[in-house]
Amino acid sequence: MSDTQKLRELPAVHEVLEQLIPSLALFPRALVVSEVRRAIDAARAEIVAGNAGGTAILARVQRALAGLERPSLRHLINATGVVLHTNLGRAALGPLSIVAGYSNLEYDVAAGRRGKRDIHTASLLERLVGAPGIAVNNNAAAVFLALHELATGGEAIVSRGELIEIGDGFRIPDIMARSGATLCEVGTTNRTRIDDYRAAINHRTRLLMRVHPSNFRISGFTARPELRELAALGRERGIPVYEDLGSGCVVDLRAFGIDEPLVSDSLSSGVDLVSFSGDKLLGGPQAGILAGRHELVARLRRNPLFRALRLDKVIYQVLENTLRNLLLERWDLVPSLAMLRLTADQIRQRALGLLARAPGLRAQVIAGESVIGGGATPQQSIPTWVIAVDCANVVEAERRLRAGDPPVVARIEDGRLIFDLRTVFSDEEELLLAALNGIALES
């Protein structure tokens, strides 16, 4: 059949609608008509392009309507061992209890008048880090707000070794330019001294900035000033010192093999303002937090951009819950911290128990490494034990796992499928077991 004949045989909209009468009872008529037209247009484009097919209009519409009914954001099982997996939502969230209906988001119930939405996290945050703070919608926004308020029209001094790029092309020099601040680079890539900062200060200097290299490390012949030195210089010259910490560690994790600077340590060193993420080592939702000297935080709050970058009521609820659990040291209620605190032996016992219930699987439990991920703690890994599965076709097996319900995301290593239970919740093990047994049947 020629392409011209195929085009002529495409059905009219009303002809398809006659076959979709049952669907019209479930979906708005206007939506069904729109999807029919979309399907006919797509089929016509395929025929013109010389592609096979182009006629299954009814099936196209039915698939499209079914897809619109399914939520796009869905639960999956992270068996990669990457605790803060950027593509999987970074910090895993525990069970959520969202306040339905109206709430006191910006209402002071006791006083009977308008309140401030950041009051719900302010006292918890101040107790956790030892300084007042505010939250915006991510850490990039926090950096932008700080630079816009404190350095617009002037210079911000930064070491060349800290002009970093993080995920999705976010670069410190670019965000600084957009904020209205002028970048003043000092030192070299690997060595910057306090005298480099001192020599660069002039009448246009508004800020001394320190950026924590959260997603890389420079080793060898390196040097940079201690925070206390930089803070002392700032006080001497009357210039605020601001540190972008990135990962936002508020809990000392060194006992678990994770060496990351604490927010409280930076503030106690004399830094005037710090910023960090809510969905990295803090273990909460996406947010950017700024904490420090009261007068600086007050300035940031008054900046018109603060309103543009503020958090939604749902995020405030999740962030408040996370901060409360951290303050009360309820570590098991902050999933990412609970995962990081698991010992290798605990994971090994879970893996052996799960593997024993999948007798048809060609697999073994072997030593491995978990990683924190999320652009945090580079070159640091955590000992673990993984289930290593031999498959006839490892690429196809991994694809089938992702196509499951729920999808299971594992990793391929040395030609085998690797499952690290560090990032698998206990109540997900039955679902993972079913997926593993499915692999056993297909192998």
pLDDT one-digit tens code per residue, 185-216: 998 878 899 999 999 999 999 999 999 876 56
Please give the pLDDT value at position 160.
87
* 218 and 112 both lie in a single domain: yes
Residues 162 and 232 in one domain: yes
The residue from 310, 330, 350 where one domain ends is: 330
Q: Which of 330, 358, 393 is the last residue of a domain?
A: 330
Read off the tokens for 43. Answer: 């089929």
Look at residue 430 and tell me if it is in a domain.
yes
% of the chain at pLDDT higher than 90: 73
Name 439's Cβ contacts closer than 8 Å, sequence gap at least 6. 361, 389, 391, 397, 400, 401, 417
Asked if the structure places residue 335 within a domain, the reply is no
Using a cut of 0.85, tell me whether the model's pTM lies above it: yes
8 Å CB contact between 122 and 129: no
End position of a domain, from candidates 13, 39, 69: 69
| Residue 302 and residue 263 in contact, taking contact as beta carbons nearer than 8 Å | no
Range(s) of the domain holding residue 82: 77-88+342-442
Do 402 and 263 belong together in one domain? no
Residues near 105 by Cβ (< 8 Å), separated by ≥ 6?
117, 120, 313, 316
Residues facing residue 408 across a β-bridge: 77
- Same domain for 185 and 149? yes
Task: Kindly state whether residue 309 falls inside one of the protein's structural domains.
Answer: yes
170 and 305 together in one domain: yes
Q: Report whether 161 contacts 188 (CB < 8 A).
A: yes
If one counts the domains in the chain, the total is: 3
Closest CA to 156 of 222, 201, 218, 217: 201
pLDDT in tens, 400-443: 999 999 999 999 999 999 999 999 999 999 999 999 998 877 65
Residues 155 and 281 in one domain: yes
Residues 149 and 290 in one domain: yes
